[in-house]
A and B are shown apart, each in its own frame.
Chain A
Amino acid sequence: DIQMTQSPSAMSASVGDTVIITCRASQGIRNYVVWFQQKPGKVPKRLISAASSLHSGVPSRFSGSGFGTEFTLTISSLQPEDFATYYCLHHNSYPLTFGGGTKVEI
């Protein structure tokens, strides 16, 4: 099974900061990564597909990159509404696995 190791598990940031979250796959998964944002008590929201393709309606300050085993989610100029938990997911093969999550706190 492919493991997704996400780091950091939590971080503190300020409005206006640039935040970088990393997911490392235990083996090559091409660009088969999706990034989600989840706020407390809310349903996960898809941000990025295919490692770097921004979902419709997602602000351009979110971006994704990577191929193979190393993937990053970057949030440029962090906004108050961006404080949330972020997850990566691989869909290269079954079983699908999520990363452990990154909580971005003020």
Chain B
Amino acid sequence: EVQLVESGGGLVQPGGSLTLSCAASGFTFSAYWMSWVRQAPGKGLEWVANINEDGRDKYYADSVKGRFTIARDNAQKLVFLQLNSLRAEDTSVYYCAGIYCSGGSCSWFDPWGQGTLVTVSS
């Protein structure tokens, strides 16, 4: 069964840090780009970051650039999101999602994890 399972969310104070993890199973993880997408309570979807198959290429939304870091461990089938200098507006459910690229085209954002909630509050 294809599955992504996020963990690491929780309550953190403004200015604090948190590391999210996403564990993959049921597919060839090392062949996929991986992505983080977030959704603030009652709001729409916001793309956060992408990382390519070998972890060398990383892209970030302007809203998180310089504060968040995406990384991966292909041996452990894990993708991470390090969240630093957290702000109240970072409060969201954070989803990881897979992107499969082959032959010049990509299958975007499938599968998705169930999400992990990050709450930034004092």
Q: Are A36 and B109 interface neighbours, CB within 8 A?
A: yes
* A43 neighbours in B (Cβ, 8 Å): 95, 112-115
Question: For residues 66 through 122 of chain B, which have their beta carbon under 8 Å from a beta carbon of chain A?
Answer: 95, 105-110, 112-115
- Nearest Cβ on chain B to A21's Cβ, whole angstroms: 13
Complex: A89 Cα to B37 Cα, angstroms = 12
- Interface residue tally of chain A, by bracket? 20 to 34
A37-61 CB contact bits vs B (8 Å, 1 = yes)?
A: 0100001101001100001000000
Identify the stretch in B8-16, B21-29, B42-50 within 8 Å (CB) of chain A at 4 or more residues.
Answer: B42-50
Complex: A9 Cα to B105 Cα, angstroms = 30
Query: If the complex has contacts A43-B115, A100-B44, are A91 and B106 also in contact, measured as CB distance less than 8 A?
Result: yes
Question: For residues 40 through 68 of chain B, which have their beta carbon under 8 Å from a beta carbon of chain A?
Answer: 44-47, 50, 59-62
Using a CB–CB cutoff of 8 Å, the interface residues on chain A facing chain B are 1, 34, 36, 38, 43-44, 46, 49-50, 55, 85, 87, 89, 91, 94-101
Instruction: Show 10 A/B contacts (Cβ-Cβ < 8 Å), sorted by A.
Output: A34-B109, A43-B112, A43-B114, A44-B45, A44-B109, A55-B110, A94-B50, A95-B47, A96-B61, A98-B44
Q: Which 5 pairs show the lowest CB-CB distances between chains A and B?
A: A96-B47, A101-B44, A94-B59, A98-B45, A43-B112
